[in-house]
Amino acid sequence: QVHLVESGGGLVQAGGSLRLSCAASGRTFSNYAMGWFRQAPGKEREFVATIWSGGATRYANPVAGRFSISRDNAQNTVSLQMDSLKPEDTAVYYCAVGSTGYGTPRSGNYNYWGQGTQVTVSS
């Protein structure tokens, strides 16, 4: 059974940093893209970043240059380094495993999801 567990969320002031981690278990994920999405209150879930099985990355425009996604295939983990945080980054952040090795911004292309971790950025 596939299981994803996010950690690292919390409360931070604007301009601060957080590092999210996602531990995956139940299978080997090295051949699949992994991604991060977020959902703010009253809004739809949106794409944040993805990393392909080969290591290529892609970011949503609002976070490009501030966030960095990485993966450790030996540990079956994916991380999201978030710097220069803004109040509008406040959301529940979810990690997900893609259905192929090519990451996309579409949530429908991800098969497995974690339960999410809350990130709150105060102004």
Contact 38, 94 (CB under 8 A): yes
Q: Give residue 10's pLDDT band: very low, low, confident or very high (50, 70, 90).
A: very high
**What b/e readout covers 68-80, taking b as 16+ CB neighbours within 10 angstroms?**
bbbbeeeebbbbb
Q: How many CB atoms lie within 10 A of CB 30?
A: 13
The percentage of residues in the chain with a pLDDT greater than 70, rounded to a whole number, is 100
pLDDT confidence of residue 28: 82
- The helix or strand, by DSSP H or E, that contains position 34, with its residue range, turns out to be strand 34-39
Instruction: Assess whether pLDDT exceeds 90 at residue 105.
Output: yes
- The tokens for 53 are 């099985």
Q: Write the pLDDT tens digit of every residue in 14-42.
A: 999 999 999 999 988 999 999 999 999 99
* Cα–Cα distance, 28 to 60 (Å, whole number): 26
- pLDDT at 90 > cutoff 90: yes
